[in-house]
Structure 1
Amino acid sequence: MTPATVWLARGRHAEGAAEDVLRRSLEQRKRSRAIDDFLELPEAETEGASEAAAPAERVFQARWRVDETVTVRARIGVTPGPDGGQEWMLVAEAEQPWNDDWPSPAGLFWPEGPDVAWDRDGVAELSLREVNPLPHDDKETRRLFRNAVRGGWHIHVVVHEAMTTDERGRVPVARWLPSGLRHRVVEHRAAPQQHRGLNWALRDLGVQVPRGGAVVLPGNPAPDGYEAEDFSVRAVFLDGSEPTDLVDAVTRYAALPRPLPDGAEDALTALREDWHLLTLQEELERQRGLVAMYAEALEAMTKSRDLYREAAERAHEALAAYQESAEAAPVRQRPSDTPVASPLQQLTRTFERFKGRTQRPVAPSRDEH
């Protein structure tokens, strides 16, 4: 299961050098003190540091504090993707259970401006920050939902427009979500005439969208405790006002226990076991721990050497005592008048006794008389 302290996201960066974008963004965040520090791992180091780092992966680590005292450590890995783009995977872990009111780690690594296209769902090419209109073809919509919910990385919300909306109604629901959820939600929009085809496409997922309403999709696999009616909203007013019921449904869904998404376990292991961005205090504690470990190893080696020496001395003493007792013991001699038979003679006598028994005459039975 996904630990309560962990925040996860993944996506796709459009053409261009994503590492340059990350480097500039993190430098700006550090200057503004949004983060405490960041580190770009050398490429050669990321290749051999852990199994989670693929040969072409570029890794950045960053740390910051929330609620003044809670430290967050985060890692983003960028790898080449299809069509010249780059796939990214971000995992962050706090010292306490994650609070969705904390800043989004994706918003701290990536720039918020619309001119940088880093916010694409790598599986279905969907936006993480804008509304995604559904395809006109129902079969294509069905395939879209099947692929979108696979893997468990994002929360997918489907909204049906009861009537054609204006500019105010096209504002994504993510605008009203807590900061920690804004880059984890993908919003799908169905036009008024698509309601029947929409529910046909959703049959495989076991959910339906009310006319003019919305539903949070279960994902694949569905999290424990998911019931379709609990995450279905009967009416969503797309007039620019906050969709309170929908925000509540998304927030409750995000709080459900869920298994780690595909590929997240390796990234989380790399974050925990291959962390390089240490403070001076952490580095001092690390060195002290190494010194203590070496001292314990040296003590164990010394103790083993002393035990071996003691055992060897006792063995020598036992051998010397045995030799002394053997020399002091009287030697018993066989009387000179007692003949000693050779092994050949003993064998010959045994054979003769056996031969004599086999040649002994057999007494006739009474029946012969």
Structure 2
Amino acid sequence: MHKISLIIFILGFACLSACKSKGENKKSHGNEMEIDSLLQKRFTRLLDYNIDSLAFPRSYSYKTGEIKKVSSRDWTSGFFVGNLWQIYAITGDEAYKERAEQWTPLIEREKDNGKTHDMGFKVFSSFGNGLKFNGSPYYEEVLIQSAKTLSTRFNDKIGSIRSWDFNKDIWQFPVIIDNMMNLELLFEATKLSGDSLYHEIAVKHAETTMKNHFRSDGSTWHVLDYDTISGQVRMKVTHQGIHDNSAWARGQGWAIYGYTMAYRYTKDQRFLNRAKATADFFINHKKLPEDGIPYWDFDDPNIPNVSRDVSAGAIVASACVELYGYTRNEAYINYSKKVVHSLKSIKYILPPENTIPFILDHSFGDWSKKSEMDEPIVYGDYYFLQTLLRLRVEK
């Protein structure tokens, strides 16, 4: 049996007592071995979940006591598959690889779905990890076709990939900061196929977003709407934040991660500078709690009596490991280690008796719909696992 304690040894953590924010009572949550056992138990819960092409686990509702299950069309479908691949990489346990290989093909139908910009989230999180940890030409073919489909949403006049197709009575050509994450699929498709078009589209989208999406303090709006005739910005809103000018925590994470990743593929200093500016805004924010797990929106007027967002903290932690590799700025790697340290405590890890196929609690979904607020959500787990893997390499 492979033990998670190996990871902790490599990361050099001598203690995994929980980090608490100001005003909270501090108490021990058990020794390192107990936390290891708890994390291993959570991994097993994912393995126990039954395979069903219409039931990718997305989140868990405490109100209804039910797992929210989605089809491959949902933007979150690829994360559960990616979690299985990453747990295999962490533990070396072939059972997770076998289960990942069973789940992954259930996403394939999305490779021709041109009605969504979320191709990277769905296909790269699943097939991309499959290619990394399996190497099958089949995975390559699906990734390339998915990139080809995604590229059809690019508008040359605007210089961006269209995000959403809803609210057509309000928006002409909406582009969300989340869309930066889907560029990884395009960059990788050029490496796999030799076709430079995907790379060129990704660069142009990143340039347009960098020009228009950011405020002077380094933070970002969520949604920009462009005029389809002039190509100019029509409006700037933060659809899933507390208000239009707020710093929605997960949106800042998408920006930091997206531009760090764009720098990886291009070595364009502008992209690295953009990632650094937004990372600095985030990790140095006066309203960031001591344990590194942000409130769901930095501008919620009810802080500190509002929900945290584990997913935002995990996204930024993962990005900051890579950002540290390019800058050697200790503040970035320290933030990543702090977040992992916090998330391995029982304040955030789900208890062993909870049988749902998730690892972490306290992620935050969509304020605009008042849904998935302070619940286990699959992408929080995904970026937590990715951070563990990245820290193992960046020692």
The question of a shared fold, defined as TM-score above 0.5 by the shorter chain, is answered with no
Which structure shows the higher helix fraction?
2
For the aligned pair, the TM-score class normalised by the smaller chain equals under 0.3
Which one has the largest radius of gyration? Answer: 1
| Larger relative contact order (CA 8 Å, sep ≥ 6) | 2
Q: Report the TM-score, using the length of structure 1 for normalisation.
A: 0.27
Per the normalisation by structure 2, the TM-score is 0.26
Greater strand fraction, Structure 1 or Structure 2: 1
